[in-house]
Amino acid sequence: MKIIWAVFKKEGLDTLRDRRAIIAMIVIPMVIFPVIFGGLGFFAIKEVKKAQEKVLKIGLIQAPESPLVDSLTNQEGFELSDLPSGTDAKDQVDNNGLDAVIVFNESFADELNGTGAGELSLHYRSTGNGGISRNRIMNVIRDYQTSVRETRIKDLGYTLDFINPVKVDFQDTATQQEQIGEAIGGFIPYLFIILCFTGAMYPAIDLGAGEKERGTLETLLTSSAPLIQIILGKLALIVCSGLFAASLSMTSMGLAMMSMGSRIGDISSQIGPMLQPLNILLFFSLLFPLTIFFASFLMTLSFFAKSFKEAQSIISPMMALIFIPLIFGMMPWVKLTYVTAAVPILNISLASKAIFSGNVEWGPVAVVYVSLIALAGIGFVACTKLASKESILFRS
Amino acid sequence: MIQVEGISKVFKKAETNKQKVYRTAPKTTFTAVDNVSFTCQPGRIYTLLGPNGAGKTTALRIVASMLQPTTGTVKICGVDVTKDARAARAKLGFLTGSTGLYNRLTPWETLKYFAALHQVEDSVSQERMEQLIDRLAIGEFADRRVGKLSMGQKQRVSIARTLMHDPEVIIFDEPTNGLDVLTSRTIIEWIRECKQAGKTVIFSTHIMGEVSLLSDDLGVIHNGKLCYDDSFENFKSQFGQHSLEDAFISILEDAS
């Protein structure tokens, strides 16, 4: 135990003095959530607000005398201009700085004065904030459409129920937490698992292939310390690094939401209830065996590699092995069953989705624990066996 | 004392790219060390001389119990390294030219770490660290990170690390490889000091000058085989009329 602790302490000190490890273990997990919530969320909301408040320049071609044109003219934030008939509407939107061009059919007013449908075409660019501009124009058109519909129905002596014979009142039985858990419950563990892996990855490469490359492994192996204890000390440090990165990202997310709650609107109020202490505890209890597996897996590959660079090139593509089940776990139709509970990584993604949405079925969750603990055990045994082989340690 | 009896080491030869692509040639083996036997006595320096790739490092790694021999036995102070590697390692120190130090640790932390790995009692380790730091003049940079030290300073730390658990047997695997004259001189002096302290010293090199400076006994290794094993005095009298280099080449030619 004394040797394991000595190795753990030394590796910890060594890792904490390594700038690259600090970036992977501390800086990235600390920064990622403030960037997501503070940066992306803040700027997205700001952009939407800007697009909603922007004065839209709208060109009208063949505009009739119509209440619709009056509504458009009176709408705050719209700047209308009449364009000659035959003007290329596409060119006006693409090259002349107009946000939209409405081309009215010649018979637009006549059709509406009768019982027909007035036709118009709305030209806009859907890229950028064009979608928001289109919605603002469509809101005015829809209001006009509704008023014309009501007038026509009344003129016929009917009420609106005549054209809406069935009224549906939607009553969602899912709680708000369940809805949010379903929507983003898969995404949050996805980030934590990735950060846990990347947090463990750098120390693992440094503690195996890095030692080989620097020639320190040779001196380490000539000490009378049992190899298994040296490996255990190293694994313990890698596990701690992974969990530390995940915890840090969790803390950073909490802090980001607390400090930016009002600015980022609904996001914090949606995620907040999911992050109950019990949920976090359950999530970390799932993450712990998975991190042991990650550490063993990374350590084995790291010892196998001849150099730091080779270890990076072997390990980096392995990220795909984690991404694939995690992405599956984010799909709304993939549920935690006794079968999916046995699939590593996918199971933790689904289980955490269930935990965060407050919809836990303990049977499959127990299978997840068994599966992850078995995986950690297999990974650990394989690591100690392979890392003890001289063909791996002295591979050249 | 080191007793090496008939050790061999056979490796699977790595496939060439062509073999990998066409899967034509079967895997072959490569004998790095072939039936090597020698003995190193306490208070004497045994030099293992050989050209690059002769099998010196593999032989020394077997002696240090890092590699398992395919055949043969190695005993360190009576302990069979294949049967009780840990007990054997407790009696030996291993030093290479690459120093094998952790750049982000200080010399002080390095010594403390290796004392813990060798399970040296805390009360003993503190005193020994102070002694080594004093004798090797490490004090002025003991708290500076190893990565910032000069090569000579690093080698002194490396020697201190090797001696931290006071081993009876010390293996120096090409310790002066790539070092400047002054740093090499420090190492040579330390190898002599180890001998004077009654330790069993085995030293590998391909540099003739070091052989005459240090050797009590000499083994010449070529293509994995030990082609000369006798005292350095006998070597000199046998090849007296030749320079050391000529004598070495003559042995290699006879062995080929």
Does A1 contact B at CB distance below 8 Å?
Answer: no
Does A22 contact B at CB distance below 8 Å?
Answer: no
The partner residue sitting opposite B118, judged by closest CB among A13, A216, A224, is A224
Q: Which domains does chain B have, with CATH numbers?
A: 2-91+167-255 (3.40.50.300)
- pLDDT tens for B79-135 read 998 888 889 888 999 887 777 889 999 999 999 999 999 999 888 889 999 988 988
Highest mean pLDDT among A264-268, B16-20, B235-239: B235-239
Mutate to test the interface with A, among B102, B157, B171 (most CBs of A within 10 A): B102
CA B22 to chain centre: 40
How many residues make up chain A in this entry?
A: 396
Mutate to test the interface with B, among A222, A307, A390 (most CBs of B within 10 A): A222
Give the integer Cα–Cα distance in Å for A313 and A209: 12
Interface confidence (ipTM) of the complex:
0.82
| B100–A10 C-beta distance less than 8 A | no
Whether residue A119 is found in the same domain as residue A223: no
Q: How many CB atoms lie under 10 A from the CB of residue B237?
A: 10
Whether residue A102 is found in the same domain as residue A204: no
- pLDDT tens for A301-343 read 888 888 888 988 988 888 888 888 888 887 778 888 888 888 8
Q: Helix A227-260 vs helix A277-304: angle between axes, to the nearest 10 degrees? A: 140
Confidence of residue B205 (pLDDT cuts 50, 70, 90): confident
How many domains, chain A?
Answer: 2
CA distances from B79 to A30, A160, B42, B65, B199 (A): 53, 100, 15, 11, 16
Check residue A60 and give its pLDDT. 92
The partner residue sitting opposite B94, judged by closest CB among A18, A219, A393, is A219
* Chain A residues with CB-CB distance to B65 below 8 A: 222
Q: Is residue A171 part of a domain?
A: no
* Chain B residues with CB-CB distance to A223 below 8 A: 89, 114, 117-118
Give the integer Cα–Cα distance in Å for A231 and A212: 14
* Last residue of one domain, picked from the residues A162, A193, A211: A162
Nearest residue to A43 (alpha-carbon basis) of A129, A103, A113: A129
Whether residue A119 is found in the same domain as residue A204: no
Check residue A26 and give its pLDDT. 81
Domain that holds residue A315: 2-40+177-393
Q: Report the phi/psi class of residue B99: left, alpha or beta, with left for phi > 0 and alpha for psi in -120 to 50.
A: left
- For A317, the 3-state DSSP assignment is helix
* Last residue of one domain, picked from the residues A99, A132, A162: A162
Give the integer Cα–Cα distance in Å for A109 and A100: 21
What is the mean pLDDT of the segment spanning A185-214? 83
Interface of A with B in 208-237 (CB under 8 A): 214-216, 218-226, 230
Lowest average pLDDT, out of A151-155, A260-264, A292-296, goes to: A260-264
Q: Is residue A46 part of a domain?
A: no
Lowest average pLDDT, out of A113-127, A179-193, A195-209, B23-37, goes to: A179-193
Q: CB-side exposure of A27: number of CA atoms within 13 Å? A: 8
Give the integer Cα–Cα distance in Å for A359 and A56: 46
β-pair partners for A148: none
| B118–A222 C-beta distance less than 8 A | no
List CB contacts of A359: < 8 A, sequence separation 6 or more.
A178, A181
Give the integer Cα–Cα distance in Å for B184 and A220: 23
* Chain A residues with CB-CB distance to B90 below 8 A: 224
Average per-residue pLDDT for chain A:
84
What is the mean pLDDT of the segment spanning A384-395? 78
Whether residue A378 is found in the same domain as residue A292: yes
Q: Looking up tokens 């050797």, which residue turns up? A: B215
Cβ A335 vs Cβ A364: under 8 Å: no
Phi, psi of B242 (to 5 degrees): -100, 160
* Cβ pairs A/B, distance under 8 A: 78
Handedness of CA A265, A270, A274, A280 (dihedral sign): negative
* Chain A residues with CB-CB distance to B104 below 8 A: 13-14, 17-18
Nearest C-alpha in B relative to A213: B100
Whether residue A147 is found in the same domain as residue A186: no
Whether residue A196 is found in the same domain as residue A313: yes
Whether residue A109 is found in the same domain as residue A151: yes
The partner residue sitting opposite A3, judged by closest CB among B68, B92, B116, is B116
Phi, psi of A106 (to 5 degrees): -55, -35
Check residue A218 and give its pLDDT. 81
- For A117, the 3-state DSSP assignment is coil
Q: Is residue A47 part of a domain?
A: no
Nearest residue to B1 (alpha-carbon basis) of B59, B44, B56: B44
* Chain B residues with CB-CB distance to A22 below 8 A: none
List CB contacts of A245: < 8 A, sequence separation 6 or more.
A24, A25, A26, A28, A29, A195, A196, A198, A199, A200
**In the predicted structure, residue A147 carries a pLDDT above the cut 70:** yes
pTM, whole model, 2 decimals? 0.76
Whether residue A101 is found in the same domain as residue A21: no
